[in-house]
Amino acid sequence: MWESYKRTFRSMQALMVLVSFVIYSRTHAWTTAAAFFITMQVGAVVGAWAGHRWKNRRRHAGNAAPQVDIDQGEVRS
């Protein structure tokens, strides 16, 4: 989980700060901007966690029976 979070950390933090700054400049309410920032932080962590779970599910599903592509008639592992 942390690998995917670390990989995009800087760009996501920059985007979150930018969005929070825009929210603050439009509303002049630091509490609103802080709420957006915290929500985006939680969303980033939850997204990394969910992506990790989905990646593991696909990896474990790869150990199951091979899938057959009906359109092409090919067997994929």
Q: Which residues pair with 69 in a beta bridge?
A: 74
Task: Please tell me the predicted confidence (pLDDT) of residue 52.
Answer: 78
Please state, as a whole number, how many other Cβ atoms lie within 10 Å of the Cβ of residue 24. 17
Identify which of 61, 39, 51, 60 has the alpha carbon closest to the alpha carbon of residue 1: 51
Q: How far from the centroid of its chain's Cα atoms is residue 56's Cα?
A: 15
Residue 66 DSSP label: P
pLDDT on residue 27: 94
- Model confidence over 19-66: pLDDT tens digits? 999 999 999 999 999 999 999 999 988 888 888 788 877 777 766 555
The model's pTM:
0.63
Residue (of 45, 42, 23) closest to 33 by Cα position = 23
